[in-house]
Amino acid sequence: MSAVLVCLSDYPRDLVEGWVADGDVEVVLARRGAPMAEVLPDLERADVVIGDAARTFPLDGAVLARMRRCRLLVHPAVGLDGVVDLDAARAHGITVVNAPGYNAEAVADWTLMAMLLMLRDGTAADRDLREHGWHARPLGRELGAMTVGIVGYGAIGRAVHRRLRGFGATVLLTDSRPVPPGDALDGRQVELDDLLGGSDVVTLHAPLTDTTRHLLDARRLARMRDGSVLVNAARGELVDEVALAAAIEAGRPAAAALDVFATEPLPPSSPLLALENVYASPHIAAGTVQARQRVRALVGDAVRGALLDLTTTDAG
């Protein structure tokens, strides 16, 4: 009997079929925008599932309980929050593989771009020139003269730090675990409240967990420096967005660059969109050609390995 591979991500058929060309494998691609009820019959007979990078097909406990044949779930992203119930997967014997670190360089590039845009008021300068013509604007600030606080020191936080060294910025960092001095490069690990009060730019790279949801609430936002900048390319729910809008109007922080939001797509009614000193992008920080190549290579290797093991086990 053929093995069944179900792909929930929006991948081209020739790409997915190329991963399993040497085996007896039926490839099923979920229809974009399909309700879970349409996809569920295929998930019930799947041996291997590629999760949905766009997070439109969440695999909760009820769905996983019906995936009785599934041996492996490959999720082509870093974060699993809100898209895969890991406890349920373990309970049903499903191995879950994600893609840690594949997007670190891409997100770090976006983060530095965002810092520079905000410190030099780049988007406002462009808008002002187009609307009002050529005239002088307020002075910007140099990244090398800033103290940057990195919240979360995993692969992306470290990649951001490496880039900041080239600018000469002072770096503070905080993480849920102690960072060995040698791993912290020239940065200094401090408590979160101290980082917020001591940084001109704060950039978030922590995972979303029960303890980090609304990590930056009204109280903590008020600890930020006057004129400071907040950058978030991690998870929207790390920040209380209502509190952030009020904090920006009060000047602490004075500006924010945001690639992620608690609700995506971001509703047009979001108070953040009404603020001129907020730079917003539609969850694209990881979106580079190179990052896509890395994650697809990782998914392909995992799928091939799982189906090879499956074939070998069945033959034995």
Which residues are identified as catalytic? Answer: 235, 264, 283
- Which helix (H) or strand (E) segment holds residue 230: the answer is strand 229-232
| CA neighbours closer than 13 Å in the CB half-sphere of residue 157 | 26
**With 0-12 CB in 10 A as exposed, 13-18 as middle and 19+ as buried, what is 25?**
buried
Query: Strands 201-204 and 229-232: what pairing?
Result: parallel
Q: Is 251 left (phi over 0), alpha (psi -120 to 50) or beta?
A: left
- Which helix (H) or strand (E) segment holds residue 166: the answer is helix 155-167
Query: What's the rounded Cα separation, in Å, for the pair 282 and 206?
Result: 19
Please, are residues 29 and 53 in contact by the beta-carbon 8 Å criterion?
no
Q: Is 158 left (phi over 0), alpha (psi -120 to 50) or beta?
A: alpha
For residue 72 the two structure tokens come to 């492996």
> Residue-wise over 212-240: b if at least 16 C-beta within 10 A, else e?
beebbeeebbebbbeebbbbbbbbbbbbb
Query: Strands 3-7 and 48-50: what pairing?
Result: parallel
Query: What's the rounded Cα separation, in Å, for the pair 188 and 129?
Result: 40
Q: DSSP letter at 239?
A: B
Please, are residues 236 and 211 in contact by the beta-carbon 8 Å criterion?
no
